[in-house]
Structure 1
Amino acid sequence: MDRLIQNQLMDLFGEHGVGLEPDEDWLLTEGDDFPAIRGIWHEGKDGGMGRLDLDIVLDEERTIEESFGGIGAGKAGCRDALDSFARNDFHVVLAACWHIVNKDKLAVRELVAGTHPFTVYVGDFTLRGEEDKPLAIPEDALSALQAAIATAPLTNDVHWIRVFYGNVGDGTTQVEVLLDNEPWAAGHKAIASVEWPQHERYYSLRNFIALVPAD
């Protein structure tokens, strides 16, 4: 499975002008040690959803840690999880870590958090479940999150935010917002305050954002 993950990641990044070189279970940027990326697949139990863990090392001290569920057993599940990464995090990661910005695939904004100016790369909200129905993202979702970011005590470094919202279907919801891999209470409050569409069936939305210190 490690070979499948490495090959698909090398192909994905290669299609966008980034060469990656295998070094044991890591993929290193050609000509440099960082950024580096690796993926580890965990097979689901009793036919359940598996999980792909991705680590993206920015430098010797900072690592983006992301996980993606994969539907299906074995290689099928792993490919499904890799496809989720390609649809959700990839273009944000490409912009923030490898400095390749495709404005057709993400939004680029300028924002001041505390006293530090940042360039903010915002990915699309990606949907799982309810694929047969269009889902309108509330206009205040990102504005609520942006307000929380503006008051966050951020250092003058790269930061990343992962948003997850799940509509369970019985009136309950799941909300998780991470800042630099850790639960972020202000971000959770912002996302939980939004009036998300309520459906009878389960669906989930995922979003990834990176903040890079402005030059």
Structure 2
Amino acid sequence: MSIQVDSRYLQVLFEGHGLSCDVVDGWVLPEGRRPAIRAEWYPNRNGFSGVFNVRVLMPDGVEFQEACSGMGTGDEGIDNGFVKSTENAFHVLLAALWRRDQDEQVHRGARYARRRLHGVSGPFRGARQGALSAGDAGSHR
């Protein structure tokens, strides 16, 4: 059973990178259009951890997900998973889908099966350096 994470978490992140957002049915739409993004928390049965799952809905309707583990229960676990997500996948998604690059990121171009691909990785910073707390966005649900 999942818990819908308050869209203000993601909205604060995007606005911090200069992207205004609309929220429709729990989906955050940076610049008012797709790709859209939302997050959910899946607590594990062990009671000590869970999965912070970020879903991205592309303009053509394709959806993909990025998951980060979170340690703790309830709001503590959601907060921990949110912070890990912002330290890892968020900046790559931000650069790849919304063209908000950072100096520390690495970009690579490649060709595969006659298609031109663009890869983004990084930024490579120490854990917790400049991390945003989920509490900055208010209530989790």
Structure 2 counterpart of 1:113: 112
Structure 1 counterpart of 2:97: 97
Task: Work out whether 1:87 is the aligned partner of 2:87.
Answer: yes
Matched residue type, 1:81: G
Q: How much has 1:87 moved relative to structure 2? A: 1.0
Partners in 2 of 1:100 and 1:85 — Cα distance? 17
Count of aligned pairs between the two proteins: 125
Equivalent residues of 2:20, 2:32 under 8 A apart: no
Partners in 1 of 2:122 and 2:26 — Cα distance? 27
Q: Runs of at least 4 residues of structure 1 off by over 4 A?
A: 124-128
Structure 2 counterpart of 1:7: 8
Q: How much has 1:125 moved relative to structure 2? A: 7.1
| Structure 1 SS opposite 2:100 | coil
Task: Work out whether 1:43 is the aligned partner of 2:52.
Answer: no
Task: Work out whether 1:17 is the aligned partner of 2:4.
Answer: no
Taking the TM superposition and a 5 Å limit, the aligned residue runs for 1:62-73 are 62-73=62-73
**Could you state the TM-score of these two structures normalised by the residue count of structure 1?**
0.52
Taking the TM superposition and a 5 Å limit, the aligned residue runs for 1:52-67 are 52-67=52-67
Q: How much has 1:88 moved relative to structure 2? A: 0.9
Partners in 1 of 2:48 and 2:111 — Cα distance? 43
**Higher RCO structure, 1 or 2 (CA under 8 Å, sep 6+):** 2
RMSD, matched Cα = 2.3
Partners in 2 of 1:126 and 1:43 — Cα distance? 28
Equivalent residues of 2:14, 2:30 under 8 A apart: no
Answer with 1 or 2: which has the greater Rg: 1
| Structure 2 SS opposite 1:100 | coil
| Structure 1 SS opposite 2:7 | helix
- What CA deviation, in whole Å up to 9, does each residue of 1:83-127 have, x standing for no partner? 1111111111011111111132x2112222232222221235799
Partners in 2 of 1:19 and 1:7 — Cα distance? 12
Structure 2 counterpart of 1:150: none
- What CA deviation, in whole Å up to 9, does each residue of 1:146-201 have, x standing for no partner? xxxxxxxxxxxxxxxxxxxxxxxxxxxxxxxxxxxxxxxxxxxxxxxxxxxxxxxx
| Structure 1 SS opposite 2:120 | strand
Q: How much has 1:46 moved relative to structure 2? A: 3.6
Q: What are the ranges of 5 or more consecutive residues in structure 2 without an aligned counterpart?
A: 128-141
Partners in 2 of 1:119 and 1:112 — Cα distance? 9
Taking the TM superposition and a 5 Å limit, the aligned residue runs for 1:150-165 are none
Q: How much has 1:31 moved relative to structure 2? A: 3.0
Q: What are the ranges of 5 or more consecutive residues in structure 1 without an aligned counterpart?
A: 129-215
**Could you state the TM-score of these two structures normalised by the residue count of structure 2?**
0.76
Structure 2 counterpart of 1:158: none
Partners in 1 of 2:70 and 2:12 — Cα distance? 19
Q: How much has 1:27 moved relative to structure 2? A: 1.2
